[in-house]
Each structure stands twice: as C-alpha cells, then as structure tokens.
Amino acid sequence: MSTTALEEPRVRRISTIVTRLEQHASETPERVALRTKDLGLWREITWGEYWDVVQAVGHGLLALGVEPGDRVAVHSENRPEWVYADLGTSAIRATTMGLYPTNPSAEVGYLLSDSGAKVLIAEDQEQVDKALEVKDQLPELNKIIYIEPRGVRNYDDPLLMSWDELLALGAAHRAAEPDAIDLLMDAAAPEDILSLIYTSGTTGPPKGAMLSVRNVEFAIEALVEQGGFASPPPHAGDMLLSYLPLCHVAERIFTVWFNLSAGTQVNFAESIETVQKDLHEVQPTIFLGVPRIWEKMHAGIHIRARNATLLKRLNFRFWMRIADRIADTLVAREGNHTLGTRILYGLGYLFLFRSLQDRIGLRKCRFAASGAAPVGPETLRFFMGIGVPMHEVYGMTENSAVATANRPGHVKLGTVGEPHPGTEMRIDEATGEIQSKHPGVFEGYWRDPDKTKEAFTEDGWLRTGDVGEWVDGTHMKITDRLKDIVITAGGKNVAPSEIENALKSSPYVKEAIVVGDRRPYLTALIGIELETVGDWAERKRIAYTTYADLAEKEAVIELIQGVVNEVNEGVARVEGIKKFRMLRKELDHEDGELTATQKVRRAAIASQFGELVESMYR
Amino acid sequence: MRGRPLLYRSYEQDGGLLNTAAKRWWSAALLAVLVWVPFQASPDLVLLLATAAIAAIGAIGLNIVTGYAGQVSLGHAFFLGVGAYTAAVLNGDPAARSGVVGYGLDMWIWLPAAGLVAAAAGLLVAPIAFRLRGLYLAIVTLGLVFIGDHIFREAESLTGGVGVGRKAAAPELFGFSFAEPGTILGVPLARDQGLYFMGLIALVIMALFARNVARSGVGRAFAAVRDRDIAAEVMGVSLRRYKIYAFVISSFYAGIAGSLLYTISRFLEPGTFGLLLSVQYIAMVLIGGPATISGSIMGAAFVTLLPRLIEEVPSFVPIISGEAAGGFLTTQQLEQFLYGLLIVLFLIFEPRGMYGIWARARNYWKAWPFSY
C-alpha cells in the first residue's frame, strides 16, 4: 500500500508465540481455538476471545507490578486459564513457570522460592492452601490469584485475589494504557525467557530450565512446521486433547505451541480421571501419550475383552491374532503396509478395529506419539497392530524437546527415531552419551551456573545424560540414563530400563525397579497393577482385601514369576532377573517415591525399601 | 461435529431427539417403510395396522399414567369410551331417527373435543389418586369401569343403548374423508389406506408429544413419583400436581384414541368398554414395555395383530376350533388365555417388555467389541 510511507516507521517485531496468537485473532477471530468441558458441554473459545482474555491478563499482571523478566507461576490442571496466564505473561515479556497439580506443599515452597515468582496463579482452594502454608519462605511472592473461588472466598489473606478481579484490573489498566502490551511486544527479544520448566528431578532437587523465545521459535519450526511430531504437519482441522501436565515441555508443545503455530483446536480434558471418556468424545487426530497412559489403555482393553460375552471374546481373540500378524509386517517394513496386510486390516476394521479404536477414542487419530519416558516396544506394537499409527518420539526439556522422532513410514520399533532436520546429534565415543546442538538448546538452569556448566561439554554440546546408539545409521536407540546404568559385581554393564520396560509391558506389572549395582546378580522390585491383577484374582476366585494383601498372595507371586521368566528368556543371561520382591504399596508422589511425572526416584526407593532389597542378596 | 457425535457443544444438540447421524438415517428409513407398506399389503391388513396405530395412542396414554407416573389404572376403557361417545355425539347426524343426539360437527371440532372431554373426566378422577396408591388405586379405577359401563348402557339418548348402539364418528376433515376412497396430492387412496395414514399421522404427532413430556421436567417428576412418592415429595415434587397431570394427559390420549378407533369399525356398542378392553391396554403396556413410548407402540401392534395370528392356529392345531362353540378351546378363548400368559411371562422374564428385548439387542452391538 502506498500510504505506508506516510506512517511512522514501525519497529520490526520478531515472531513470538504472542505475535502468533495475535495473528490468528486478527485473521480468523471467529474460528474455534480452544474447547473446555463445562457442565457437560464443550464450550468453545474463539481466537478473538482468546486474544482478548490474554490481553486482559497481561494488563492485569502489569497492574500488579510484574515487569519483563519477572516470573509468574501457574499451579493448575489443564484449562483455558492456564494458557491465558501463559500467554498473558509472555505478552508482557515475563516468564511463565508451571507447577504440577500433584506437587505437595513442600515442593511448592521450593519451586516458588527457587524461581522467585512474583505472582502465583492457583487453580483452587487446594493449591492456594499449599502456597499459603509456605508463604513465609516466599518473600518475593506478592499476589496469589485463584481461579475457582469455591472455598477461598472467605479467606482474608491480603495476598489473595480472584481471577475475575485480575481481569477487571486488566481492563482498567488497558483503558488507561492501551498501548502497553503493544510496546512490550515490539521490544521482545530472542533472548527473553518465555518459560522456566522444572525438570522432574529423579536424582536431586528440580532444576529450572530456561527456554527463550529463540528456543521456542526453533522448536515450533522443527516440531510443528516441518512435521517433526506429526506429519503431514498439524493444521487447523486437527483436534487435540490436552490432559498431561502443561508444566511439562511435551504437553506444552502439543497444547500450546501446536495451537499457536498451526491453529490446531485444543480440547481440555475435564480431569486426568476422565481422559478415557473425553478421548471417546473428542476423538483427537493427534495424540500424545506417556508410556503409563499407553500401558493402562492396553491393559484396559484386555480386561474388558476378557469380560466380554463368548462371541465377542472369540471375535476379539481372532482379530487380535490377525493384528499381531499385521504388526509383524508393519514392524518389519518400518510402518508400511503390504497389499496383504492392508486387506487383512480392512476386514479387521469391519469386525473389530473400527469399534475398538472408537472405544479408546483414537479412531480419527492420524498421529499417535509416545514420549517423555521409555516405553516397552510390545506396547507400541499392540497399538500398531490395531491400526493406531504409533510413533515413539524423544526429547528433553533442555533441548526444547527437539531431538528425534519416528516419522510415518520410517518407524523403527525400539528406537526413538531420526534426528530432526536442522539439528546436530552425536554419540560420545567414550561414554556413549547422546549429545545435541541446535538453536533449541536451552539458555541454562535458572540461578544455577554450576549445573548449567555441567550440562554442556567443553565444546558446547548439550549433554542429554542418555546413553544411546545408532541403528542402521539413521535411527537412535536409547539404552538408558547414564546415571542409571548398572555395573554388576562381575563388571558387566546393564541398562535396567530396558528390562524394566519389558516387565512393564505385561498388563499385570505397573512398576518395576531393577537393582544390581555392585551386586552379584540382578534383582527387581515389582509393583502390580491393582486393576488387572485384581481382575485376574477374581477370575481365579482368590479373595483379597488390600493392595498389600493381593501383592503377597502365592498365586500372584507365581503369576509375576511367569512374567519375569518370559522377560528373562528374551535377554542375555547376565541380564536375567534372579530374584524379585513385591512392593507392598503403590508408589506415590506424595511419599517422595515418584516424581511429579511418575518417574521412580531410585535413591528414595533404595532407602525406603533397603531391607527388601537386602533380603534378595542373602 | 462430523464423526464426533458425542462432542456436545450446546444443550439443544445434547437433548436432540435425533442427535446422531445414525438415528436420523434410521428414522428416515423407518418412515419410508411406513409410507410404503399400505401400498403393498392387503386391505384387511392395512386396516389392522391402522387400528394398531390408533390403539398405540391409547397405549401411550395408559403408559404415561401407569408406566411413567406409576399409578396403576384399570379404568382406561372408561376414558376410551368417553372419547368415542363424545366424537360420535358431536359428529352424529342431527336429523337421524331413533332419538340419539347428534350435532353434525366436523373432525377439527370433535377430535380435540373428544380428547378434552376425556381429559376433564380424568381431572375428576385424579383426586382419588392423591390419597391412594397401588392396589387400592387399582380397585377404585376398576370401579370406574363398572360405573362407566353402567352409564354407557343406560344413557340411551347418547349411546343408543345395549344391543342397538349408534354410528361412530366419521373422519371428515374440511370436506376430506379419510374413510372413503379419495385422492391426496395426486395419489389415489383407498379407504383402508386413508384410515392408515390418518392413524399414522395422529400417532406420530401424539408419540412425539408424549416423548417430549417424558424427557422434560414433567416426565422426570413422574418418574420420581413412581419410584418413591415420599422421596419425590421431599425433593419438592408436588404429588398432587403431577398425579393430576398424569391422569389428565393420559385420559386426553385415551379420548383421542377412542374417537379415532371406531371410525374404522364405524359402529359403537356400549358393551365394548368393559374390563376386558382395559386389560387389553394393560397387556399392550406390559408386553411393549412400561415407561417407554416405542414400547407402547410395539405392544399395541403386537396385541392388535395377535388375533389375526391366532385365526391361523386352528388349521395347525386341531383341538382349537375356529367356531364359536366347539372344540376344546375357541380362538377367542385362546386369545384371552394368551394375553394372560404373555403378561405373566413378560413380567417374570422381561419386565421391560419388548422394548427391553430391543434395548438389550441394541446395547449388545453398541458395546461391541466389549460387553461394557
């Protein structure tokens, strides 16, 4: 246009997640961006409304004195307010930091004081209480904003403010200074820290990884626009279900970054307990699951099939045998069908696969991913067989989750896939550690230069801490965490996670922890899956009362022995599990045995179950 | 959203009667079959189907009071009779012989009037139901049938009296008669087909209305009263109001059904509206499925078509005679025997009636490939 010459020269803005949001809002303000389940209905939020609320939140935070570089903490389950808070914070160049809804009070205290958060956005009374309990340790915190007023309404702590009050504050501030956000968006720099993402901390206290605008933009380009995590790349017609914690980098990618870059539609699950039902309703086209979700789904299918009536049971059994054959072919041909398997699959689709996919909510799924933790190949193979296009992906917070992914048509089971284009990966000769280097690699740990230094090699590559090897020169296979590698008394290096995942592939096993460092042989602590083993026991007419009671039953131990034997057959002799003991309780985040992402804290296990472990070496 | 029928985004969508594509397709297909049938089946069968459709309206009415609201009523025959006579009187020939009253009014008057007069009768009876329930209510409504029977026999100026009777209402709407051969939209219709479509249209309208009553707040209040009247009252459901509603709506349906039913036989005899007729309707409800609209329709069709099936029996089973007197059992005795037997069997083995069988079959496939 010719008039541009007359206007004041505008600052050239860099692309950030906020400019992307603004762009969607101006181009397609009426299109649906988010859906959330409210009183039984999926309430739709358009891009226009989304951007409007985000600006109100941004202004509200400005009014509360949040300045660029300040931290705003969010402690909530997945819901629209989470992303409003995230984007509102980013819009004013401040840093978002998420807490897991399951974080107990002590951890909340640690995370808030470590990050020095100025404002906390807490979902409800539960989360508000956790913060109030430790507020004495948090000198930098000057506001707690609660989203759900129920139960909090009558608190009279001066720190508290409701979400509606924040929006009202934002509206007033916006009327007074309408350009405030625009100016801050103009000033945005690639080094701005968008997010502090705390690592789960299996070994020490959690560390806050700083992800900058530059990191996130690179991740969006690699993972979304070039189809790293779903190819063909995600588009506006794609439906996603948001249910994993948003403070984890993986869900942030699938919920927030996919949505802001490709315009996918995000559907917020009602809660983690209702995921099955929400999946059935939403039928997402792209779905990310952590191994625990896939294992649970797998076990659930088998339980329900076993409890079906005769004809259905026979039908299921027959077509699962066919699915097995299809999976064999798919695994052998990197995920590609032959004409034969395509015909078999087509027939099976009529009799079983279609309805089965529909029941688990993945009938429309064009890209299913498993990530965030290692998964047993058997589990993935099962889903491939029934027609769920399953891809294992790999990444970590420190490299903005840009590392490797299996791509459609190039799936090698048991590997985590190929490096994304535009990234560099190498395997350290001496230790076998995977190292990566690209613009997505993080800016360092928050207020921890020592750990930051440890995270990089001399020549500036990011140390992932994972041990891996190349398969056929293209695909990466992860052996284990460097710190978890077990060296037996005989001097043999063993990767426990491989054995653990093989054990966990059994629907009866929920937790498996392999022990054997500086020991004569390998042993394992095994926790049963209450649902499946309970169902199995009922079928066998074994009466039980509690988890502990069931775990200690002779018959159950025999059942697990069977699983262990099966796994032992598949591995080298030294890697076999000689003895195992049953865990008498379910591992729990609250008791410090698991991290917020349900990963096992080995040190905690070693101290808590030391006696049990020793009993296997006597 | 396409392919995601469960992703409800509004309550209209959630509460829609035909909320999935499959339901829309199957309903359209069913309607097409229902329109196609009368052009294929023999005239006597088509008339029987017309009777079934109208009887279904009556069965829906009984189901509202007995199935949904749980108030056992043996007095349904009385309300059917009130409707039938209201229509006959309003429509009757004013210049006719023999002293029966008639006003020669059109169908658009006598049809609603039949419903309203019956509903008014229901309103009179309803207060009895406030204080009684279960067996006691059944006995009182049983008394109603006998009182009604007596009135119908004695009010000769209205009913023509025992053994004489009177002509039933003729279904003539704005000059178009459903009961005579005619042409509609260029399609020639025989008498049986005309009556069939009259019954079908009336049934569709009445069934949809009943379905909407049943799934609204009124329907939920009915269910609350049925399941436990004390609990319902504690929750703020007024027993008085909803029992009145149930009886009034139910008798309105009976009145409409009664007025239309005898347009087919063209003749009314006071002795018809006895206990046996009530029992027939109870059989429809129990065999079809209590507290379901589609069940009422299935039950009515079954009970109406049963005599036709039984007529075929004597040719297979020699001890059953088609003649009025003779053989071990007459077909009529067999019919009544079967009503009783079927009610007993359904109550024991399938309390949800034919609808229950259908629901079980549907759920079997719905849950595929699992059982839950």
* A607 has pLDDT over 90: no
Residues 6+ apart with CB under 8 A from B205: none
User: A153, exposed or middle or buried, with CB in 10 Å at 0-12, 13-18, 19+?
Assistant: exposed
Task: Label residue A597 by pLDDT band (50, 70, 90).
Answer: confident
In CATH terms, are A212-431+458-479 and A485-615 the same topology? no
Superfamily assignment of A14-188 in CATH?
A: ANL, N-terminal domain (3.40.50.12780)
CATH code of domain A485-615: 3.30.300.30
Find, among A283, A565, A559, A505, the residue nearest to A383 by Cα. A505
Orientation angle between helical segments A80-91 and A180-187, nearest 10 degrees: 70
Structure confidence at residue A574 (pLDDT)? 75
Minimal C-alpha gap between A315 and chain B (Å): 8
Lowest mean pLDDT among A142-156, A214-228, B309-323: B309-323
Residue from A36, A285, A304, A360 whose CB has the most chain B CBs within 10 Å, to mutate: A304
Kindly list the residues from chain A whose CB atom is less than 8 angstroms away from the CB atom of residue B10.
41
How do residues B228-262 score in pLDDT, each as one tens digit?
A: 999 999 999 999 999 999 999 999 999 999 999 99
Share of chain B above pLDDT 90, in %: 65
Supply the pLDDT for residue A4.
44
User: Nearest C-alpha of chain A: how many angstroms from B360?
Assistant: 13
Q: Do B6 and A280 touch (CB under 8 A)?
A: yes
For residue B166, the one-letter residue type is: R
* HSE-CB of A276 using CA atoms within 13 angstroms: 11
Chain A neighbors of B14, CB-CB under 8 A: 40-41
Residue A583 near residue A550 (C-beta atoms within 8 A): no
Instruction: Give the gap in angstroms from C-alpha B3 to the nearest C-alpha of chain A.
Output: 9
Q: Mutating which of B6, B12, B368 best tests the A interface, going by the most A Cβ atoms within 10 A?
A: B368
Judge if ipTM > 0.85: no
Question: Which pLDDT does position A588 carry in this prediction?
Answer: 87
Strand order in the sheet with A390-394: A41-46, A32-38, A265-268, A239-242, A286-289, A367-370, A390-394, A404-405, A418-419
> Is A39 in contact with B9 (CB distance < 8 Å)?
no
Average pLDDT value for residue range A65-73: 96
Nearest to A343 by CA among A324, A322, A362: A322
Write a three-state SS string for A359-416. Answer: HHCCCCCCEEEECCCCCCHHHHHHHHHCCCCEEEEECCHHHCCCCEECECCECCCCCC
CB contact under 8 A, A355 and B371: no
Where do the H-state alpha helices sit in A256-338?
Answer: 258-262, 275-282, 291-306, 310-332
Which residue(s) pair with A161 in the sheet?
A145
Residues of B whose CB is below 8 A from A364? 3-4
Measured CA to CA in angstroms, residue A88 lies from A31, A52, A61, A85, B42 at distances of 20, 10, 8, 5, 74
Q: Which long-range contacts (CB under 8 A, 24 or more apart) does B348-351 make?
A: B351/B290
CB A530 within 8 A of CB A299: no
Share of chain A above pLDDT 70, in %: 98
Would an 8 Å CB–CB cutoff place A215 in contact with chain B?
no
Q: What is the DSSP letter of A225?
A: I
Residue B97: pLDDT above 70? Answer: no
Token pair for A395: 């990444």
| Cα separation, B51 vs B305, whole angstroms | 9
The residue of chain B with its CA nearest to that of A308 is B371
Give me the numbers of helices (H) and strands (E) for chain B, helices first please.
15, 8
In whole angstroms, what is the distance from residue B302 CA to residue B281 CA? Answer: 11
The phi, psi pair for A225, rounded to 5°, reads: -70, -35
A481-511: b (≥16 Cβ within 10 Å) or e: bbebbbebeeeeebbbbbbbbbbbbbbbbbb
pLDDT digits (tens, 9 = 90+) for A415-433: 999 999 989 999 999 889 9
In the block, residue with structure tokens 């090698």? A412
List, edge to edge, every strand of the sheet that includes A475-481.
Answer: A424-427, A433-437, A462-471, A475-481
Query: What token pair was written down for A586?
Result: 């379910």
Residues facing residue A197 across a β-bridge: A209
Residue B19: per-residue pLDDT: 82
Does residue A8 carry a pLDDT above 80?
Answer: no
User: What is the spatial distance between Cα A376 and Cα A210, in angstroms, rounded to a whole number?
Assistant: 31
Name the DSSP letter for residue A445: B
B118-138 confidence digits (pLDDT tens): 999 999 988 888 888 889 999
Residues of B within 8 A of A280 (CB-CB) are 6
CA–CA dist A445, A451 (Å, integer): 7
CA within 13 Å, CB half, B309: 9
DSSP A456: B
The whole-angstrom separation of Cα A210 and Cα A213 is 10
Output A52 or B172, whichever has higher pLDDT. Answer: A52
Query: Measured between alpha carbons, how far is A261 from A218 in angstroms, rounded to an integer?
Result: 12
Distance CA B107, CA B91 (A): 8
Write down the pLDDT at residue A2.
44
Look at B370 and A352 and tell me if their CB atoms are within 8 Å. no
What does the pLDDT read at residue A1?
41
The answer to whether A40 contacts B8, with C-beta atoms less than 8 Å apart, is yes
Look at residue A64 and tell me whether its pLDDT is greater than 50. yes
How distant, in Å, are the alpha carbons of A291, A509, A599, B336 from that of A527? 16, 6, 14, 65
Mean per-residue pLDDT of chain B: 90
Beta bridge partners of B181: none
Sheet holding A509-515, edge to edge: A509-515, A522-528, A577-582
Rg for chain A, CA atoms, rounded: 25
Q: What size, in residues, is chain B?
A: 372
Report whether pLDDT(A354) > 90.
yes
- Inter-chain contact B369–A352, Cβ cutoff 8 Å? yes
Per-residue confidence at B282, pLDDT binned at 50, 70, 90?
very high
- CB distance A41–B8 less than 8 Å? yes
* A-B contacts at Cβ under 8 angstroms: 52
The pLDDT tens digits for B162-191 are: 888 888 998 989 888 898 888 888 888 899
Residue A479, token pair as written in the block:
């052996």
What six digits make up the tokens of A240?
A: 């996603």
Partner residue facing A355 (CB), from B4, B369, B371: B369
Task: Give the H or E element holding residue A609.
Answer: none
Residue B2, min C-alpha distance to chain A (Å): 11
Architecture per CATH, A212-431+458-479:
3-Layer(aba) Sandwich (3.40)
Chain A positions in Cβ-Cβ contact with residue B9 (cut-off 8 Å): 35, 41-44
Confidence bin at B321 (pLDDT 50/70/90)? low
Is there a contact between A190 and A172 (Cβ–Cβ < 8 Å)?
no
Q: How far apart are CA A91 and CA A59, in angstroms?
A: 9
The pair phi, psi for residue A530, each rounded to 5°, is -55, -40
Test A355 with B368 for CB contact under 8 angstroms: yes
Q: At what angle do helices A496-504 and A291-306 cross, to 10 degrees?
A: 30
Residue A556: strand, helix, or coil: helix
Interface of A with B in 260-299 (CB under 8 A): 280-283
Inter-chain CB proximity A312 and B368 less than 8 Å: yes
Q: How many CB atoms lie within 10 A of CB A144?
A: 25
Rounded to whole angstroms, how far apart are CA atoms A341 and A332? 12
Q: What H or E segment, with its residue span, contains residue B137? A: helix B135-154
Domain boundaries, chain A: 14-188, 212-431+458-479, 485-615
- Cβ contact (<8 Å) for B8 and A356? no
Taking residues B37-48, what's their average pLDDT? 93
Token readout for A498 is 């491989």
Query: What residues of chain B lie within 8 A of the CB of A355, using their CB?
Result: 368-369
